[in-house]
Structure 1
Amino acid sequence: MPPSKLTFLVKFSLAHCRTITALALHQTLWQPSSPPAQHTPLSMMVDKCKSMDQLKQIHAQMIVTSRIHDTFAASRLLNFYALSASGDLNYALKLLEHTPMPNLFMWNTVIRAQASSSSPFEGLLLYADMRRRGVIPGKHTFPFVLKACSNMKSIKCCEQVHAHVLKFGLDSDLHVVNGLVRGYSVSDGIDDARRVFDELDDRNLSIWTTMICGYAQNDSAGEAIRLFDGMIADGFEPNGVVLCSVLSACAQSACLDLGEQIHEYIQEKGMELNVILGTALVNMYAKNGSLAKAKQCFYGLKQKNIATWNALICGLAVHGHVEEAIHFFTKLEKEKVMPNDITLLGVLSACCHAGLLDYGRKIFYSMKRIYGIEPKIKHYGCMVDLLGRGGQVVEAEELIKGMVWKADVCDLGSIVECL
């Protein structure tokens, strides 16, 4: 059969989701002597593969027919191995190792995969190996390398990569700079992040978002709000991510007026109130003591997660609305929502406010037995406080003795003060 007809049949099989048939036809088509033009279905075949077994068949054909040196074909394979949900990162690394001259795309692919893995440091090692081989990093390399730094929360790594960014003249690329700002922000280097941000002549919405989020996550609510004002003044329209961060800052800094303005903005723009943005609103209102509006937002959400419940329960508890806090906890259980350690801390806090010793004791001792949650130092602190207020000093002392191995001296000191 003429090669052109075989090529047509391969494409036809792929178009009709017959991957196995396409593989068999492609094996017939792909002979060592056939010219490269006849191998055009390869990228389609890689994209249509549904399993590692099918992909390995293509890989085997490449080896047998000496096409493994075709960097374009190898790059497509590597991309699937490293990044596909059904791929295999270790197999991708072996393919990289056995590729004589991997191109920059291949290096970027494996660095990206490792940066997002449970071993982000391996991504930095791959970058170092790439440089040892004389490969020049590009603007797509550094965002992945910086993601590894972010996931490691290592300011030293950020500084070293920053030096390389400057060396290769990529300090004005917005994607690279965004990675630097995020890397510094999550690594206790918020001032370094701000310096990088301030050195930019032109900023996009993504850069503003990352910097504002960085301040909010570092408990610098005032700076987050000031920067948000600057972003608006520069003519940028905030997205949901920015609004969540600013609402978080409003919750931290008791800035109810701005929080209400943001809520009005969301309504005026007709923005979808998804679970993340909705939870941020509930949390902002609850932290600021505007509990009626917190409940209104809570009930208005089509979807809720445990963070939404926690925001309301903890807000009610902090402001002394004990019965309502317990009511919503009971409602949570009835709706089969699994509480977490924050939920139970909120309930224990409510019990402390009202002196509900029996109920608090029940919650505390059910944490591990019913919910599978190991009590943390704050749970012990609440329980000791509750016992102390209830005159159960002996029981409180026994509780402290039972958890000595989990706490350091400072923690124990703060707990003993509750007695």
Structure 2
Amino acid sequence: MPKLEMFPPKLKTMITHRLPPFSLLADKCTTMHHLKQLHAQMIILARIHDNYAASRLLSFCALSSSGDIGYAIKLFNYAQEPNNFMYNTLIRAHASSQHPYKALLMFVEMMRNGVTPGKHTFPFLLKGCACLKWVFGCKQIHACVVKYGFDFNLHVVNGLVRGYSVCGSLGRARQVFDESPGRDLSVWTSLICGYAQNNCSNEALLLFDRMVRDGIEPNGATLASVLSACAEEGCLVVGERIESFIREKSGDFGVILGTALVHMYVKNGAVAKARDVFEGMKEKNVATWNAMIQGLGVHGHGAEALDLFCKFEEEGFVPNGITLVAVLSACCHGGFLEQGREFFHSMRTRYKIEPKLEHYGCMVDLLGRQGKLLEAEQLIQNMEWKADVMIWGSLLSACAKCGNVEVAERVVEEIFALDSNNHGVRVVLSNMYAEAGRWDEVSRLRKVMKEGKFKKTPGWSSVDCGG
């Protein structure tokens, strides 16, 4: 391989004084073609073993959207003594890839080769564990964090809280949070998001209240999580305060917060306020439209929901599966049978969307509400997907409403085949027999329930009292 001393003096001067450092050139690469040209020059000039410059090449290949992780791995394998930065780069790239387990394998290799991990290593590893939903992996990385003395580093603490939360281990996430001597906004936000995403909305709201009392101002990610919690817990008052806070700070919601506000108001039944936020948004995405269409449909504004869907298409947006669920739900609640049939049957041909279980569920509900029980039953039987208890239960409710005992008996058999402990359906069928005057059947069913000590799971509801 040619050495720099082998070049003529003039050329050597030009190379050493006129060319920028290779690391700087690597940072200016925009395509793999540029990078490969630079890589070739580094080989020719015997600079390929310059770890700093090689690290910049590796970073572009592994992390850039126009990079090539396969090429990055080849660069890494040719490095004589890969450093901490090189390992971290590949760990980070793998953690964000379709194969996050490779990040953990890279860490094992790093340890075997005696390269000491740093504060940037562990958050990437924890991200890989979170993608795998591997709580045991989080525990192992946590042990390494303590071993190397990074358990109080905020960047690492945030990774631990987020990793445990995504894996559903909220107790450990809260323990890490409570034991940390310092907490920044990111740490607070990670735990609040964890509670909100794991159906612990009340805990998310309590933690948010504590964060505000501690004088920490929330950012967009925090507020979006809290709005999600407000939607689930029915905390309209808190949601309204957040809207006021956003208006005071910026005046513009942005797509993420605007969509979260629309969803929160819709879930709380404040459709008019949801519509005001929706109309006032300067920018909307498909999720924003979906939230508003679904909200209008569920709350009895089916015609408005379908009009909004027409406007959605006129604006050039392309519907997804969630959009069609919202549209079919609007047809169901509005009683628009023909429109619902048309939307459902055009999903494949017009929208290129394969109907899923939730689409069939909406259609069964629509047909059942309109008394088309046999058509609904036939639709379920012809499904590519195996019907669940909810779909059969929807048809059973329609049978009870229409008083069709014959179809109800077949539906009950299907439900028992899926869930033999679902004794509530016996109660529904018994009531239907009673309404039809078939008292012998009522006595038989009640005897079966009494002998088997079957009990219907009692219903319950929650009431908002004083916020």
Range of TM-score over shorter length: 0.7 to 0.9
Return the alpha-carbon distance in structure 2 between the equivalents of residues 368 and 304 of structure 1. Answer: 26
Secondary structure of 2:210's aligned partner: helix
- Which of residues 386, 389, 394 in structure 2 aligns to 1:407? 386
- 1:325 alignment partner in structure 2: 305
Offset at residue 59 of structure 1 (A) = 2.4
Alpha-carbon spacing, 1:367–1:114, altered in 2? closer, same or farther (3 Å): same
Secondary structure of 1:299's aligned partner: helix
Alignment RMSD, CA only?
Answer: 1.9
Post-superposition CA distance 1:325-354 (Å, at most 9, x none)? 122112212222112222221222222223
- 1:15 alignment partner in structure 2: none
Give percent identity, aligned residues only.
55
Offset at residue 66 of structure 1 (A) = 3.8
- Which of residues 12, 18, 28 in structure 2 aligns to 1:9? 18
Structure 1 unmatched ranges of 5 or more = 12-40
Return the alpha-carbon distance in structure 2 between the equivalents of residues 204 and 269 of structure 1. Answer: 20
Judge conservation of contact 1:384–1:418 (CA < 8 Å) in 2: no
- 1:124 alignment partner in structure 2: 104
Deviates more, 1:379-388 or 1:300-309: 379-388
- Which of residues 349, 369, 376 in structure 2 aligns to 1:369? 349
- 1:74 alignment partner in structure 2: 54
Return the alpha-carbon distance in structure 1 between the equivalents of residues 146 and 290 of structure 2. Answer: 44
- 2:363 alignment partner in structure 1: 383
Letter in 1 for 2:18: L
The equivalences for 1:186-265 within 5 A come to 186-265=166-245
Judge conservation of contact 1:182–1:210 (CA < 8 Å) in 2: yes
Deviates more, 1:319-328 or 1:254-263: 319-328
- 2:153 alignment partner in structure 1: 173
Return the alpha-carbon distance in structure 2 between the equivalents of residues 66 and 5 of structure 1. Answer: 16
Could you tell me the TM-score, scaled by structure 1's length?
0.88
Letter in 1 for 2:106: L
Return the alpha-carbon distance in structure 1 between the equivalents of residues 178 and 99 of structure 2. Answer: 32
Letter in 2 for 1:127: F
- 1:21 alignment partner in structure 2: none
1:88 has 2:68 as partner: yes
Return the alpha-carbon distance in structure 1 between the equivalents of residues 255 and 25 of structure 2. Answer: 39
Return the alpha-carbon distance in structure 1 between the equivalents of residues 392 and 324 of structure 2. Answer: 23
Return the alpha-carbon distance in structure 2 between the equivalents of residues 80 and 390 of structure 1. Answer: 59
Judge conservation of contact 1:380–1:415 (CA < 8 Å) in 2: no
Secondary structure of 2:364's aligned partner: helix
Deviates more, 1:297-306 or 1:145-154: 145-154
Judge conservation of contact 1:381–1:418 (CA < 8 Å) in 2: no
Alpha-carbon spacing, 1:386–1:53, altered in 2? closer, same or farther (3 Å): closer
- 1:309 alignment partner in structure 2: 289
Post-superposition CA distance 1:350-409 (Å, at most 9, x none)? 222232211111111122221111222222122112212222222112211111x41255
Alpha-carbon spacing, 1:155–1:330, altered in 2? closer, same or farther (3 Å): same
Judge conservation of contact 1:115–1:122 (CA < 8 Å) in 2: yes
Judge conservation of contact 2:196–2:225 (CA < 8 Å) in 1: yes
The equivalences for 1:130-169 within 5 A come to 130-169=110-149
- 1:345 alignment partner in structure 2: 325
- 1:417 alignment partner in structure 2: 396
Post-superposition CA distance 1:212-246 (Å, at most 9, x none)? 11111112111111000010111101111111111
Letter in 2 for 1:128: V
Could you tell me the TM-score, scaled by structure 2's length?
0.79
Return the alpha-carbon distance in structure 2 between the equivalents of residues 335 and 57 of structure 1. Answer: 45
Judge conservation of contact 1:377–1:411 (CA < 8 Å) in 2: no
Number of equivalences: 389
Offset at residue 191 of structure 1 (A) = 2.2
